[in-house]
Amino acid sequence: MGTTFNPDLFKQLPVVGILRFFKREAVEQLVPAVMAGGLTNIEVTMNSEGALDLIKLARGLMGDKGNVGAGTVTNITEMETALRAGAQFIVTPAIFPDIIKICAARGVPIMPGAMTPTEVITAWKAGPPTMVKVFPADQLGPGHIKALKAPFPHIPLMPTGGVTVETLPAFKKAGADAVGVGGPLFDAKQAAAGNWDWFREQAAKFAAAWTAS
């Protein structure tokens, strides 16, 4: 199993599935299910119970067929522990210049959260990061991505938050270089019901939506 981020696997399907607040027993089923649907990138949020164990688990389940990152990283300690646990990329909910600088210097993919034009360029100047996560994306929609791309065509953007199978094509058309998907892919009710095939099918729908748009 490789220890570094695989950019080719990321580009293969730049849809990042976000695992938040799931137990180990569910993750053991969820990761193989979405992989079977074509997903190659998963993010485990650090505010999930046992996040470090879940990162290790996801890495083991994905092996060399995907990238596993740590999300909702808000300080250096979380970043360091996540990387030691096997995280291959780091995602933050807002701009933390120290995290961006350290990751950029080490060559660790970093995707800081930002919303406004000022925040986007501030995040970019701090690293630059691998791409900027535009969050929460559903508040201003695809039009916001298009507007940001006008002055910043060189900055890769990853809208995250509320991106669905139905809205993904519009985000991609607006200029999104990747998308982050949480609840619309990892539905807690479906997991509680043990409908694991639903996750495979939903991942396949996201894959098809990205490929076709």
Please state, rounded to an integer, the average pLDDT across all residues of the chain. 97
pLDDT at 2: 52
Q: How far is it, in rounded angstroms, from Cα 28 to Cα 33? A: 9
Beta strands 157-159; 132-134: pairing state: parallel
The string of pLDDT tens digits covering residues 52-94 is 999 999 999 999 999 999 999 999 999 999 999 999 999 999 9
CATH top-level class for 7-208?
A: alpha beta
H or E element: which one contains 198? helix 196-212
Give the length of the chain: 213
pLDDT at 4 over 60: yes
pLDDT category at 166 given cuts 50, 70, 90 is very high
Query: 12 — phi, psi (to 5°)?
Result: -55, -45
pLDDT at 111: 98
Spatial CB neighbours of 128, under 8 Å, sequence gap ≥ 6: 104, 155
What is the pTM assigned to this prediction? 0.96
How do the domains of the chain map onto residue ranges? 7-208
pLDDT at 3: 65
pLDDT category at 18 given cuts 50, 70, 90 is very high
Q: How far is it, in rounded angstroms, from Cα 160 to Cα 194? A: 26
The string of pLDDT tens digits covering residues 88-131 is 999 999 999 999 999 999 999 999 999 999 999 999 999 999 99
DSSP-based three-state secondary structure for 60:
helix
pLDDT at 1 over 80: no
H or E element: which one contains 129? none
